[in-house]
Amino acid sequence: MKLLLTTLCACLLAASFGSKLPSTFKKCNLKQTSSRLCLPTAIESAIKQMDHPIKNLGLVRLEPLLIPSLIIDAGSQYVGTKQIFKNLKLSGFNETSCSKADFNYNEKTLNLDCVVPNFRMDFNYELRGQVMTMSIYGNGTGWLNFHDNQFGLTFKFGEYEKDGQTYFNIVHQQLKMQAKDIDFDLQNLFDGDEKSAAQVKRLIKENVLEIFDDVKPGYEEAFGKIFAYIFETILEKVPVFDIFG
């Protein structure tokens, strides 16, 4: 898994320590048990407000989220090709709903369960290798749409002091993804040979969840890093008690 975060970080230079969250971000007191009720909606609402860049935090927009380049390794069973994506656009986050957001103050962990009804990837792709029994190659545009995609995210935090304030950083993250169904299209497979393209697309459609499971760890690692990176952009500038209250 190789990931270029350079353009994601380009605007970080402008932002600095001791920044404030937008006042429209809802705060939850983590030391009160009511945070279990407060946090899911606070997080949902923050995600929805990230449909534009937040300059004083150096935050890029999340809707859509642009990633210049991403390479996912081949799987171990069905997918015998690495997946090269360029000009990747992730969208659908503005319809996120979170059913769980548990913060454990003693262990400094945050567990999130959120569903994105239509998590979509639009991209340029390059593929060359095998899918199940068939060979595949292509270079063109495409998209993937994950229906009712569950994101289970766990963050483990470290804590440090700066200028008398407490800040968190992320020391570990884990993402699990589970979709109910996946639609996709890949244009220009086999240099435009429609017959071969239709065959391999049918094979993939009939087995799409099994095929995706084979390469899912690569996607989970990549997107987990991206989400952690974005969250850390906030954490490194805003003292933790100004984030959560």
Ligand X SMILES: *[C@@H]1O[C@H](CO)[C@@H](O)[C@H](O)[C@H]1NC(C)=O
Provide the binding-site residues for ligand X, judged by CB under 6 A.
63-64, 91, 94-95, 126, 139
Residue closer to ligand X by CB (options 140, 245) is 140
Shortest reach from residue 31's CB to ligand X, in Å = 33
Residue closer to ligand X by CB (options 139, 154) is 139
Contact of 78 with 204, CB cutoff 8 Å? no
Residues in Cβ contact with 42 at an 8 Å cutoff, skipping those fewer than 6 apart: 25, 26, 27, 28, 101
Shortest reach from residue 51's CB to ligand X, in Å = 6
Cα torsion at 130, 134, 140, 143 (round to 10°)? -90
User: What single DSSP character describes residue 127?
Assistant: E
> Which regions of the chain does DSSP assign to beta strands (E)?
2-3, 65-72, 79-80, 83-91, 97-104, 109-131, 134-162, 165-178, 181-186
Residue closer to ligand X by CB (options 64, 217) is 64
The CA angle 188-88-140, to the nearest 5 degrees, is 10
Shortest reach from residue 66's CB to ligand X, in Å = 11
Residue closer to ligand X by CB (options 9, 66) is 66
Shortest reach from residue 95's CB to ligand X, in Å = 5
Shortest reach from residue 64's CB to ligand X, in Å = 5
Residue closer to ligand X by CB (options 18, 117) is 117
